[in-house]
Amino acid sequence: MPLETEAILKALKEMRDKTKKRNFIQSVELIINLRDIDLKRPENRISEIVELPCKLGKEVKVCVFASGDAALKAKKAGLDTISREEIEAMAGDKKKQKNLAKTYDFFIAEATLMPLIGRILGSVFGPRGKMPTPVPPSADIVEIAEKYKRMVRIQAKKQPVIHCRVGTENMKDEEIAKNIQAVISKLEDKLERGMKNIQSIYIKMTMGPAVRVV
């Protein structure tokens, strides 16, 4: 059963009341505690990407691995782009690979570059859940990159806790609530027992206390 919007809006109001204003725009974070899930079994681990209905107030950083026309189009659209030659230049440089993985939220890549990316970056990107999404030649790489700017990654691999950003304090509560519901809905579909596998749900701002939703 989906989470009631009224419960989310009530918790968001309480969160705002309890959080002091800062000299920067704080993120709104969602924390979901799971139960009755054995994460030692690989099939129970969670690693999903959720497309949110409302854009996050803060920029989601997307990087494109591309060459030729696709690279030119991506650069023209203002997207950070890495070429085949630049991928090859990172071979063996673990520090550079780790910095790259840390810099961006999501990566997308021309499908033809995936074997090269897997060989050179796979050992660093794989465990971090940062392997690029392959884009077929016929697809609009810029359009896909823009779509990823509305996405968040939800993961539970070692601890039964999901922690992700669902908005910023300058967004409307109704928008944040829609994003929260999108994450919960995706998670509910993924969990074997749906909402029964969710122990509790909290929200908080970057510098504020956690407020329980359910």
For 59-106, the pLDDT digits (tens) are 789 999 999 998 999 999 999 999 999 999 999 999 999 999 999 999
Angle, alpha carbons 69-70-75 (nearest 5°): 100
Which residue type, as a one-letter code, is found at position 6? E
pLDDT in tens, 24-57: 999 999 999 999 999 999 999 999 999 999 988 7
Question: Which has more pLDDT, 203 or 55?
Answer: 203
Alpha helices by DSSP H, the chain = 5-18, 68-76, 84-89, 94-103, 114-125, 141-148, 173-190
- Domains located in the chain, CATH noted: 5-57+150-212 (3.30.190.20), 62-148 (3.40.50.790)
On the question of pLDDT at 2 being above 70, the answer is no
The yes-or-no verdict on residue 167 having pLDDT over 90 is yes
CA distance 135 to 112: 9
Residue 149 has a pLDDT of 86
Question: What local confidence, expressed as pLDDT, does residue 1 receive?
Answer: 54
Between CA 198 and CA 30 the distance in angstroms is 13
